[in-house]
């Protein structure tokens, strides 16, 4: 397997199966993916890192038909409510980008994919969500 690096800090690739890691406010439980000096919800300054579930449900979605140059369109952009808490904006991958193929409440699971490989063979890995396997 080639060396891999995550495209975002909160996608963990080296600790078992790929998963997202979030900072959770120790006072109110609000979840953040980025580093915080203080909680935006309650102002507390203490956070704990937690592994988030790889599974969730589509809260809302849109099918994007016009994208920046080099970005293949159409694609599905969604907000996913993760099992056990947390919410993430991500693309839904490995699905036809058609309204009849995606639905509110649809069960999805984390999926990773290689976006690029550098001259040394190191792969850049991104994430999305795909329909849960049966």
Predicted confidence (pLDDT) per residue in 15-42, tens digit = 789 999 999 999 999 999 998 999 999 9
Q: What is the pTM of this model?
A: 0.89
- For residue 53, the 8-state DSSP code is P
pLDDT band at 1 (very low <50, low <70, confident <90, very high): low
- Nearest in space to 128 (alpha carbons), one of 54, 33, 24: 54
Give the C-alpha separation, 92 to 32, whole Å. Answer: 21
Question: Which helix (H) or strand (E) is 23 found in, with range?
Answer: strand 19-25
pLDDT band at 14 (very low <50, low <70, confident <90, very high): confident
């Amino acid at each position: 397997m080639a060396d891999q690096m995550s495209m975002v800090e909160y996608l963990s690739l080296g600790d078992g199966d790929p998963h997202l890691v979030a900072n959770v406010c120790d006072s109110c439980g609000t979840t953040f993916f980025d580093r915080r000096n203080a909680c935006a919800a309650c102002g507390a300054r203490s956070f704990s890192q937690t592994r988030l579930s790889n599974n969730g449900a589509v809260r809302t979605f849109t099918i994007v038909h016009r994208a920046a140059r080099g970005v293949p369109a159409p694609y599905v952009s969604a907000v996913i409510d993760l099992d056990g808490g947390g919410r993430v904006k991500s693309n839904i991958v490995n699905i036809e980008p058609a309204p009849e193929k995606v639905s509110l409440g649809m069960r999805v699971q984390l999926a990773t994919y290689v976006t690029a490989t550098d001259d040394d063979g190191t792969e850049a890995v991104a994430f999305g969500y795909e329909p849960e396997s049966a």
